[in-house]
Amino acid sequence: MSTYETIEVEGSVPIKAWIRGVPLEEPAAKQLRNVARMPFVHGWVAAMPDVHWGIGATVGSVIPTVGAIIPAAVGVDIGCGMAAVQTTLTANDLPESLRDVRAAIERAVPHGRTPRGRDKGSWENPPAPALGEWARLKRRFDAITEKHRAIKNSNHVTQLGTLGTGNHFIEVCLDESDRVWFMLHSGSRGVGNKIGSYFIELAKKDMGHHVANLPDQDLAYLEEGAEHFADYVEAVGWAQDFALTNRRLMMDAVVRAVQSAPGIPPFQLGAVAVNCHHNYVARESHYGREVFVTRKGAVRAGRGDLGIIPGSMGARSYIVRGRGNPESFESCSHGAGRAMSRNEAKRRFTVEDHERMTAGVECRKDADVIDETPAAYKSIDAVMEAQKDLVEIVHTLKQVVCVKG
């Protein structure tokens, strides 16, 4: 039985929204209606239970299109997603104090950002694993930037294998059997941002005066067969490859870091490993048509697909298996979803509130992470309940260490 609600939009395709028991704010609903009015949407727009306002298109939306892509719907954090790996460690193998484990991870993976001068979130001298992967990625990047030189001068190899800022994180978690997992969240970093921003502006320029007819100028699109369409598909695909590689390099570094931390016994990786996007576009077949599916804050949940749905830094996260629901275009939520803006969270909560909400988690507990405090997000329990027909829960994880950018 489907659990979505249908929102009819006059003169356009409908919206199927998995929002029972979770709020849908009017700014996000307006964005969904704007997207539904685009003439090339295939069938309907699907809204996930973590849906909330975003730039260009709603975070938590799935947009199938025929013959066109909206670069701002894909966004600038191209290929952002999650990775998780099970280990043979158990809770009893962890030391009583996890401060050294957190410190080892923080030393191993650059994170955060320094606005001026030496950026602590980038490599000064990229290590061998990053250089090796960049050698594989560089040829395609050079071909893209030969035509689009504005992208060339971006942070690429210096940020390959680094975390970033905002809601990006690395965690050590325990599952329902007290087995230890490592989990992380990041994307294509500065080079993906440069690619996304560049093609968003290019789409607006290509549309010329027609952009004024759009319900939102950030919905400017590139049409298949037009001058820059194939270039965008190539560039966004490359950025998604960069993002997958970035997560894999970080996970390798996290494993080595924990192996070297005091008090940790020898361990191996378990049978389960996941690396999935939740901000991306892909060619897929749905309802008899080959379409471009843009998932902006959504995970592919085809039948049997493994995915990751994280809660906030004080809540449970889930390893899930897709049910292949065709009405969501085989998709599910990418997390809990923000309940308020970052500025509102900073106004509303104190460091003491944050300390209380992250009790038992070895993490930063200072004013600079208030915008990521658990209460700034929707209830992950309500989000999971709203999408029972999209995924089944395979593992339930609870973090004991959280590294934030």
Q: Which pLDDT value is given to residue 57? A: 86
- Is 353 inside a domain boundary? no
> 113-137 pLDDT, tens per residue?
988 778 999 999 999 999 999 999 9
CATH number at residue 277: 3.90.1860.10
Q: Is residue 371 part of a domain?
A: no
Residue that the structure tokens 């990041």 belong to: 186
Q: Which amino acid is at 282?
A: A
CB 35 within 8 A of CB 218: no
Summarised one tens digit per residue, pLDDT across range 182-203 is 999 999 999 999 999 999 999 9
- Tell whether the model's pLDDT for residue 56 goes beyond 80: no
Predicted confidence band of residue 227 (pLDDT cuts 50, 70, 90): confident
pLDDT at 55: 82
State mean pLDDT over 246-264: 97
- Would you say residue 31 lies in a domain? yes
Instruction: Please choose, from the candidates 299, 298, 278, 282, the residue with its C-alpha nearest in 3D space to the C-alpha of residue 290.
Output: 282
Higher per-residue pLDDT: 57 or 56: 57
First to last CA, the chain: 40
* CA–CA distance, 371 with 362 (Å, rounded to integer): 18
Q: Is 334 part of any domain?
A: yes
Among 148, 228, 277, 334, which one carries the catalytic annotation?
334
Q: Confidence class of residue 2 from pLDDT cuts 50, 70 and 90?
A: low
Tell me whether residue 334 is one of the annotated catalytic residues. Answer: yes
Asked if residue 358 is part of any domain, the answer here is: no
Q: Is 356 among the domain residues? A: no
Average pLDDT over every residue of 218-243:
96
Indicate the number of domains in the chain. Answer: 1
Supply the pTM of this predicted model.
Answer: 0.95
Give the model's pLDDT for residue 312: 87
Q: Residue 388 corresponds to which amino acid?
A: K
Asked if the structure places residue 354 within a domain, the reply is: no
- For residue range 99-110, what is the model confidence (pLDDT) as tens digits? 999 999 999 999
What is the pLDDT confidence band of residue 1, given thresholds at 50, 70 and 90?
low
246 pairs with which residues across the strands?
A: none
Range of the domain at 127: 5-339+377-404
Cα 281 from Cα 233, distance rounded (Å):
9
Q: Is residue 348 part of a domain?
A: no
